[in-house]
Structure 1
């Protein structure tokens, strides 16, 4: 199971690299985190400086919208199909 790190720990690790100019590999080794984890945290800070670490299993609002779109499309298509059937029934009753 992957180890979980809180936002403060991640921020401190990123700070060691960005402000103290320590090498990524050295910081990762000193903190006991995988070599591929710290670069991902740095990428998150660069891409989303206002809120780089949203938490495990959580999405940013824009990402959540994209995640929810297929379900919304499916629901709307189902509603549309129901309305089409209802329209046919109403049209047949008028004849």
Structure 2
């Protein structure tokens, strides 16, 4: 006979994963408490960890990213300098017109 599969909404999944991560309890114990299969919960936890790792990245920049970062820093410094020049010229203009 065909077995029917239980469906869990995303909130339940996220809550179960959060329980495992925040309490430090074993997956098997949390699964038993929630009445779900430990393998299912283990899959959810692994998927959540992979998503988190992809979102964070490994913290190492490759050559292209380093070059872009250097370019953006130079551009940012130039734009800040232009902004400062404009601010100073505005102050001079305002003080000159108020006299």
Larger radius of gyration: 2
The two structures have a TM-score, normalised by structure 2, of: 0.48
